Amino acid sequence: MTSAASLSIFGHLFASVAEEMGVTLGRTAFSPNIKERLDFSCALFMLENGQPRMLAQAAHIPVHLGAMPASVGAAVAACSPLLEGDVVLLNDPYQGGNHLPDITMVSGTGSPALTVGGGADELQFLVASRAHHADVGGMSPGSMPLSSELYQEGIIIPPLKIIEAGQRNESLWRMILRNVRTPQEREGDLSAQLAAHKVGALRFAEIVRRYGIDEVIEHAQQLISYAERLTRGAIEQIPDGRYTFQDVMDDDGQSAEAVPIQVAITVKGSKMDVDFSGTAPAAAGNINAVPAITHSAVVYCLRCTAVALLDIDLPLNDGVFGPLSIHIPPGSLLDPPLNRAVAAGNVETSQRVVDVIFGALALALSELIPAASQGTMNNLTFGGEDDGRSFAYYETIGGGAGAGPHSDGCDGIHVHMSNTLNTPVEALEYTFPIQVTEYRLRAASGGAGQHRGGSGLVRGIKFLAPATATITSERRRFAPYGLQGGEAGEKGRNSLLRGEHEERVPGKVQLELKKGEILRIATPGGGGWGAADKS
């Protein structure tokens, strides 16, 4: 029998499995991107009749919310049966991934006793992790190139068993490491993911031993139903109607043309339909996003709205998807044809999808929805060789949060689909041949209003060795919007300093940097909320 108390207990138990996996991954990883920025997610799944149902995802990266179930489904479809000691590895965006640097692992929970039933009634518990690796090959260091096809972005790994019956596939392992610029770092990070899976399997097995498999299954199923009921309750608080909004991407990195994203949200009772008809066709550049990314953005926005409406944090499980229907036009920017470039879709297009969803919801909930935040992750990758040692680095940079109806926007933080931290200056300078020349708030870059948008950041990096750098950023041409009379936030600006000369560079650019040159990235401010008092 389940009760409110037991559901709460099991909800926290399941979440604790994913959280401890995350702690293990963060503390054992090699790269600053994972151990310092915490650019990863971990989750627990129940596979019911062949369909993955997420039981818990640790509060890591929002863009992985909808993508992790796709990964688990792809892993199971390609590599069944997943037996004790098996671990599946994948990063193919068109087979459950989102972009190539995000490598996903999926494994069983480590005990035959945790696979229940057989045939059509089989039920199995799985753990999954996804981590952004600082380099997976491709045409530029950091594997976030200004690409025009997937093959340019790095090694493509379909779902394959990296470990089978406890034995690592050494041939596959060596092949992966041979295709990256920093094999020692990649080996350390992949090993950290494997360690996290061992911890997750161990902790889940302890839950089963303590409560019994029948009790675990019952509470898992009831928690998913409970999340769906809560989600329906939140949607019912939104006035019925159809709400549309459009915003644009600056460009696709191949041409200067803006790329529109459009959404129509229809609310009827406890159901929500989210339709992206009117969105641009798939782009020639790398801003295409596979559908799982859009699903993640929709669920993220709904969870944020539920907190504002009901002061309830919707559980991170499969139930939140139940009341939603999401339509994405095939062949569009958000559902591109096979092998289109997608490196920036996960990090940049996802942010604009959030902006258009919140823009539409603001028409229904004008006193709840905040103005647009910076709308970009300001992706920076760089790499090269220093004293015969290869190096490669990736980071995202925070900016201004949008102001809301009750307060100013936060300054200098990662927003929406990025929930990572900044890389400390000390860690950067210790690991790479660079010097951070400035790292500060960009004063008064938030939009004015009754409540002011948050300020962006300025980060300056001096290169102490030649390097290839790639910037993938947005909101350099079109500013983050304000709401209810608030003004737009300041647009971002990228520049290169050669001696006394400062040269402005595009939002999406690859640069060959000489020793002593400084790259400066000034990130956007958030939009303002409400008309400013002119008196």
Structure token pair of residue 500? 């006394």
Structure token pair of residue 263? 């959404």
| Within a domain: 179 | yes
Structure token pair of residue 97? 């991934």
pLDDT in tens, 382-428: 999 998 899 999 999 999 999 999 999 999 999 998 878 888 899 99
Least confident of 45-49, 397-401, 493-497: 45-49
| Within a domain: 317 | no
β-pairing, 102-108 with 115-116?
unpaired
d(C-alpha 465, C-alpha 322), whole Å: 52
Write down the pLDDT at residue 155. Answer: 97
Q: Where among 204, 229, 254 does a domain terminate? A: 229
| Within a domain: 503 | yes
pLDDT at 64 > cutoff 80? no
SS3 for 463? strand
Q: What is the pTM of this model?
A: 0.93
| Within a domain: 275 | no
pLDDT at 46 > cutoff 80? yes
Write down the pLDDT at residue 113. Answer: 42
Q: What band does 119 get if pLDDT is binned at 50, 70 and 90?
A: very low
| Within a domain: 255 | no
Q: Where among 180, 210, 229 does a domain terminate? A: 229
d(C-alpha 229, C-alpha 250), whole Å: 39
Write down the pLDDT at residue 314. Answer: 80
How large is the greatest C-alpha to C-alpha distance in the chain, in angstroms?
A: 73
Q: Where among 229, 244, 269 does a domain terminate? A: 229
pLDDT in tens, 206-263: 999 999 999 999 999 999 999 999 999 999 999 999 999 999 999 999 999 999 999 9
| Within a domain: 348 | no
Q: How far is CA 426 from CA 33, 357, 380, 436, in A?
A: 14, 38, 18, 9
Task: Supply the range of the domain harboring residue 127.
Answer: 4-229
Write down the pLDDT at residue 120. Answer: 40
Find the angle CA(279)-CA(283)-CA(289) to the nearest 5 degrees: 70
CA 484 centroid distance within chain: 29
d(C-alpha 109, C-alpha 46), whole Å: 10
| Within a domain: 524 | yes
| Within a domain: 217 | yes
**Between 29 and 68, residue with greater pLDDT:** 29
**Between 250 and 500, residue with greater pLDDT:** 250
DSSP state of 74: H
Least confident of 29-33, 119-123, 141-145, 276-280: 119-123
How many helices (H) and strands (E) in the chain? 9, 21
In the chain, how many domains are there? Answer: 2
Helix (H) or strand (E) holding 104: strand 102-108
DSSP 332-360: BTTSPPTT---TTIIIIIHHHHHHHHHHH
Write down the pLDDT at residue 535. Answer: 56
Mean pLDDT of 350-367: 97
